[in-house]
Structure 1
C-alpha cells in the first residue's frame, strides 16, 4: 500500500496541538487538534461510528484482495489492521488508502510465486518511497498534466486484471475447476452478494453494503447447505502474527 504525501499540502491542513490540561475538556481539545473530532460529543460519536463502519468494510475487501493476489486471507486482514492502527495514531490525510489497494494487487501473484511474501513487502515499501519523492521535490502538481484517457485506460485495465484473478475462486481446493451444481450454486451466491451490494445503497447508506452483502451471501450458503467451498476450505487461517519477511533473492 502506498501513500502520495505532499509536505506543502500537509502544512496547510495540519492543525496545532492543543495544550494539555486536566479534565475532559483537555481530552476533547487533544482529539480536536488531531482532527479526530470537531470538538463536540456529537462529532466524536459520528467519527467513532464512521471508524467502525470503515473497519467493517475493510474485512471483506482485505480478504478479497488477498485472494486475488494469491495470498492467504490472513495477510490481508493483518496488514489492513496494522496500517489502519499506525495511520490512525500518527495522523493521516482524507482520501488516503489504509488497506489493500487494487493498483498493487495484480502484481502480487507474480511476486509471491517468484520471491514469496517478502517480495510483496519489498514491492509495497518501494512503491511508497516512489510516491513520497514527488512530495519531497514539490512536483505533485505535475499529475495534473496526465490525460484523463490515461487514467480511464489504467482503471479499466485494472478492472479486467482483477476480474481474471477473481475467476480463480471458481476452483476447488485441489486447483481444479468446479462443475455441475457446485458451480451453479457458487455463481448464484456470487450474484446474490453482488445484487445486495449494488441495491442496498439505493435504500439506505447508513449500513455499509459490502459487509451486509457478505453476511447475506454467507447466510444463504449455511442456511440452505449448498455445499460451496468456503474461505476456510481453501486457506489455513490462524490467529498468530507472522514475522516480517524479506524477499528470497537467491
Structure 2
C-alpha cells in the first residue's frame, strides 16, 4: 500500500562528509515490509524544485513508527532537505518499489554496498540476522571522511571497508576485497553504482544474487517511464526501476 503523508522530523544530523541521517515519524512506517524499498520526498512546500527526490530506507522502527533515511546533500533538492529541523514536516510518498528477498538467503550472505548504496543494506542486515543468517558486509567509499555506519554494521557481522584513496580500510574498490574473501556464502545482495553492480555479477556468476539499481526517476510510481532499462529476456523487453524494482535478481537488467 502506497501512502502520502506529512511526516514529522525526529532527528537530523550530518554523519559524514555531505552525508545526512534523517529520522521521521508517521503512520506510513507500518506499511514498510521489505528492506530495499524507497520513498519519494517533496523537499519544499513550493513548486521549486518541482520533482520529488527518491531516497532509500535505511532502517525501520515500527514500534516507534519511525524510519531512517541516509542521503547525500549535493544538489538543490537534497540541500533543501538538509535544512529541515526537528519538528518540521516532510511530504513523503511511499513505501515504493520492490525490495530484497530476505528469504532467499539460507546460511550466509554477502552484503556489498557502494557510497549512498550502503544505507538500504543496514535494514537488510538486521532482518537477515533476525532470521539466523550470517552477514558479511563489504562497503566502499571515496575516502575516510565519507564513511558512515561502520560500527553499526560491525555490530551485525564481519565488516570490510574499501576507500578509493586508501585513507581507511583497503585501498581501492569493493572488488579488491571480494577477491580476497572466500566464496563460502549462498546469496549476495548489492546496492550502488552500476559499474560496481556489474563487477559484482561478474565476480559471482554461479551465486544467487540480488541487485538494487540507482536510476534517475520522475514520478517514482511507474507512470512517467523515466527510469526504464532493458532486460536480458529480449531486445524489446523493458522494466521500470521504480515500480518493478529497484531490486532485481542478478542477470536480469541491462543498463
In the superposition, the TM-score normalised over structure 1's length comes to 0.25
More helix by share: 1
**Rg larger in 1 or in 2?**
1
In the superposition, the TM-score normalised over structure 2's length comes to 0.25
